[in-house]
Structure 1
Amino acid sequence: MSGGLDIALIQTRTPATAEAALAHVEPLIREAAAGGAKFVLTPEGTNVLEQRRDRRDAAIKDEEADVAVLGLRRLAAELGIWLLIGSALVRSGQTGDGRAANRSLLVDPAGAITARYDKLHVFDVELPNGEKYCESATVRPGDGAAVADTPWGRLGLTICYDIRFPHLHRQLAKAGASMIAVPAAFTVPTGEAHWEVLLRARAIETGAFVLAPAQGGLHEDGRRTWGRSTVVGPWGEILAKADHDDPCVLTAKLDMEAAAKARTAVPALTHDRDFLPAR
């Protein structure tokens, strides 16, 4: 596309209710659209970020009834933009399973959801600083990868902890993704150590743009997230990066021919070989 694609990543500090979350993110999306962004991406947990189980359970709604999801769909239609709700925590719809789905939703300029992706890899870990996370207790992992069509090329969908699984990103690239979204709410210890290097590695391995909008700062439930939303080019170069944790709009222009150029220069996606397992 002549002139490239104008995108915006929205860095947030999402509150603990959908109503407050919508009020928090809407002005940032309006700012992005006013600045010319045609494709806007928000972080993981855009509709609610709450790890206290009782409050979280009370906040989770069906996708069709979530105030933030409905409001963001209307906003995309009003502004005439493509919008990736990086993820919304919604009821999974699975009978007998009270866990939520951590779900990416791609919304077109008519406000319609054109693609969904439920986070495949849930974050169960005890960090060296004593922080413990057991996402599997409240989130039901998805069971399939997802690539979505946009006017500018195919978009691979991932969420946060998925960044540590290179084979997923490789499959997305082989399915035609020239852009891969990595909406996140990274912890501070892992973000400081690994965030940028993981994003750059996935871009280099796939020859794709990596678009990573993030949560940042101290949240109402007591957690801290890393921020530093980042756009990485297919050659692994940083195209744009927030250097802080505060809510903001990060813009970039993507040359959509760059992915093909990177994959021609290093055609690793075509060089897979079968091999015997290590013993």
Structure 2
Amino acid sequence: MGVFKAAAVQMRSGTDPERNVADFERMVREAAANGARYVQTPEMTNAMVRDKEARAAAFHPVENDLVARTAARLAAELGIHIHVGSNAIALADGKLANRALFFDASGGLAATYDKVHMFDVDLDNGESWRESAAYEPGTETVVVELPEAKIGLAICYDVRFPQLFRAQALAGAEVLTVPAAFTRQTGEAHWHTLLRARAIENGAWVIAAAQGGVHEDGRETFGHSLIVDPWGRVVADAGNAEPGIVYAEIDTAASAAARKKIPNLKNAREFSVRLAGGNAGLRAAS
């Protein structure tokens, strides 16, 4: 068990990675100066670019990614853990990975996670998204073990798939993470509810750094970077869509206490689903 100060950095990433990395470095330094031991940034920290040709120019393999190189340098210099919520990373087959990068306090790349669930939706305001057209989905979830805590990695749309977070909690994660670029429409409807639910049902802290505001590529994101405690209380909320940083003291003992009060992780049972009437079918569920 451990206690550490966490920071969730809210950004408004544009189409130019060089401008975004300057904002990233400034805000990470500010968070470290304010005592943060763990700093998380949003989904698509390196750039938010919808145009296909512009993406090809903006995004590179991880070894050439500006944010990744800067994060490694800052983590070692400042002696902190830097969790780049995600970058768009160019793959050899021409597609992209929506990839989280977790740098430990020595500057080493301790873990990566490729977003599993692709945001392929048609919203009722006319917005349409096909993340799978450009991005290759990941196939595994990841838990990072630090001296202070075990931290589960996820990205944005993953938050709508509670089985991913349950698997992380069963693997010992006391802190769950959901760096995001939630649309304004879906954020207004569901952001707080989903994050609080993931915290409550797993007895875990949830840290969710977000993009916020109207971006250069035309999209609008919700902001409201949040930190939620294992009892489901919002302990930090950026409050709007403006760039900024929110902080909270993370005590993993709070996760242990919540799981002792409501031991649903231990009480879970295997069951099946029966369709009553007709040709009833059974399928395994948990």
Structure 1 length as normaliser, TM-score? 0.96
Q: Does 1:50 align with 2:45?
A: no
Q: Name the SS of the counterpart of 2:252 in structure 1.
A: coil
Spell out, residue by residue over 1:59-118, the C-alpha distance to the aligned partner (whole angstroms, 9 max, x if none). Answer: 11000111121112111111111110000110234xxx3210001111011211001100
Q: Does 1:141 align with 2:137?
A: yes
Larger radius of gyration: 2
Shift of 1:17: 2.4
Q: Name the SS of the counterpart of 2:269 in structure 1.
A: coil
Shift of 1:273: 1.6
Q: Does 1:221 align with 2:205?
A: no
Q: Name the SS of the counterpart of 1:50 in structure 2.
A: coil
Query: Which residues in structure 2 correspond to 1:76-225 (within 5 Å)?
Result: 76-93=75-92, 97-225=93-221
Q: Does the 8 A contact of 1:115 with 1:148 survive in 2?
A: yes
| Gap regions ≥5 residues in structure 2 | 276-286
Q: Write the distance in 2 (CA, Å) between the matches of 1:166 and 1:192.
A: 20
Q: Write the distance in 2 (CA, Å) between the matches of 1:18 and 1:11.
A: 16
Question: Which residue in 1 is equivalent to 2:279?
Answer: none
Count matched residues. Answer: 275
Q: Write the distance in 2 (CA, Å) between the matches of 1:189 and 1:169.
A: 24
Spell out, residue by residue over 1:117-142, the C-alpha distance to the aligned partner (whole angstroms, 9 max, x if none). Answer: 00000100010100010000011000
Q: Write the distance in 1 (CA, Å) between the matches of 2:225 and 2:55.
A: 25
Question: Which residue in 2 is equivalent to 1:15?
Answer: 14
Identity of aligned residues (%): 47
Q: Does the 8 A contact of 1:22 with 1:72 survive in 2?
A: no
Q: Name the SS of the counterpart of 2:217 in structure 1.
A: coil
Q: Name the SS of the counterpart of 1:105 in structure 2.
A: strand
Q: Write the distance in 1 (CA, Å) between the matches of 2:210 and 2:94.
A: 27
The code of the aligned residue for 2:127 comes to E
Shift of 1:15: 1.6
Q: Write the distance in 2 (CA, Å) between the matches of 1:234 and 1:62.
A: 36
Q: Does 1:24 align with 2:33?
A: no
Structure 2 length as normaliser, TM-score? 0.94
When structure 1 is superposed on structure 2, of 116-125 and 47-56 the one drifting more is 47-56
Spell out, residue by residue over 1:138-197, the C-alpha distance to the aligned partner (whole angstroms, 9 max, x if none). Answer: 110000010011121110000000000001100000001000110000000100000000
Q: Name the SS of the counterpart of 1:73 in structure 2.
A: helix
| Gap regions ≥5 residues in structure 1 | none
Question: Which residue in 1 is equivalent to 2:64?
Answer: 65
Q: Structure 1 segments of 4 or more deviating over 4 A?
A: none
